[in-house]
Amino acid sequence: MKDIEKEFYIYLKNGSKEPKFLQVFSDWLQECGDIRGDIIALKAILDSKKIKEPLTIRQQLRKLRKLNRERLELSEFLSRSTEITWKHGFITEVKVHHYEMFGPSAQEKLLELGLVITSEPFKFLMKLDFSCLLLKELPMWIGKLTQLTELDLGGNELKSIPEWIGQLTQLEELNISGNELNEIPKSLERLTQLRKIDLSANNLTQFPESIRQLTLLEELNLNCYLTEIPDWIGEFNKLKELVLCENKLTKIPESIGKLTQLKKLDFRNNKLTEIPDSIVNLKLLNFIDLRDNDIILADLPVSFSKRFRSKRRLLLGET
Task: Report whether pLDDT(70) > 80.
Answer: yes
Tell me how many domains the chain contains.
Answer: 2
Q: What is the pLDDT of residue 18?
A: 79
Average pLDDT over residues 12-19: 83
CA dist 99 and 130 (Å) reads 12
Whether residues 64 and 84 share a domain: the answer is: no
What residue ranges in 19-165 does DSSP mark as E strands?
82-87, 90-96, 127-129, 150-152
Average pLDDT over residues 152-161: 96
Whether residues 178 and 38 share a domain: the answer is: no
Handedness of CA 113, 118, 122, 125 (dihedral sign): positive
Q: Which of 19, 46, 71 is the last residue of a domain?
A: 71
CA dist 154 and 199 (Å) reads 9
- Collapse the DSSP code of 264 into the 3-class scheme (helix H, G, I; strand E, B; otherwise coil) and give the result: strand
CA dist 89 and 42 (Å) reads 11
Indicate the residue type of 118: T
Whether residues 133 and 267 share a domain: the answer is: yes
CA dist 145 and 212 (Å) reads 24
Closest CA relative to residue 154, chosen from 220, 105, 202, 210: 202
- Would you call 133 exposed, middle or buried from its count of C-beta atoms within 10 A (0-12, 13-18, 19+)? buried
Confidence band, pLDDT 50/70/90 cuts, at residue 129: very high
Q: What is the pLDDT of residue 185?
A: 97
Closest CA relative to residue 144, chosen from 157, 132, 128: 128
Task: Report whether pLDDT(35) > 50.
Answer: yes
Confidence band, pLDDT 50/70/90 cuts, at residue 319: very low
Q: What is the pLDDT of residue 100?
A: 62
Higher pLDDT, residue 295 or 18: 295
Q: Which of 71, 101, 132 is the last residue of a domain?
A: 71
Average pLDDT over residues 80-99: 90
Whether residues 133 and 103 share a domain: the answer is: yes
pTM of the model: 0.92
CA dist 82 and 191 (Å) reads 27
Average pLDDT over residues 171-181: 98
Average model confidence (pLDDT) across the chain: 91
Whether residues 31 and 131 share a domain: the answer is: no
CATH at residue 246: 3.80.10.10
Strand partners, 129: 95, 152
Whether residues 175 and 303 share a domain: the answer is: yes
Q: Would you give the DSSP letter of residue 223?
A: -
Strand partners, 242: 220, 265
Q: What is the pLDDT of residue 301?
A: 79
Whether residues 161 and 67 share a domain: the answer is: no
CA dist 85 and 177 (Å) reads 24
Q: Which of 53, 71, 89 is the last residue of a domain?
A: 71
Whether residues 124 and 165 share a domain: the answer is: yes
Question: Do 68 and 42 touch, CB atoms closer than 8 A?
Answer: no
310: how many CB neighbours lie within 10 A of its CB? 6
| Distant-in-sequence, close-in-space partners of 213: CB < 8 Å, separation ≥ 6 | 189, 190, 192
Whether residues 136 and 275 share a domain: the answer is: yes
Radius of gyration of the chain (CA): 24
Question: Do 256 and 233 touch, CB atoms closer than 8 A?
Answer: yes
Whether residues 129 and 108 share a domain: the answer is: yes
CA dist 167 and 300 (Å) reads 44
Whether residues 37 and 120 share a domain: the answer is: no
Whether residues 154 and 272 share a domain: the answer is: yes
Task: Report whether pLDDT(112) > 50.
Answer: yes
Between helix 3-14 and helix 19-31 the angle, nearest 10°, is 140
Task: Report whether pLDDT(66) > 60.
Answer: yes
CA dist 318 and 84 (Å) reads 48
Give 177-215 pLDDT, tens digit per residue. 999 999 999 999 999 999 999 999 999 999 999 999 999
> Containing domain of residue 93, as a range?
77-315
- Collapse the DSSP code of 234 into the 3-class scheme (helix H, G, I; strand E, B; otherwise coil) and give the result: helix
Q: What is the pLDDT of residue 170?
A: 97
CA dist 284 and 263 (Å) reads 5
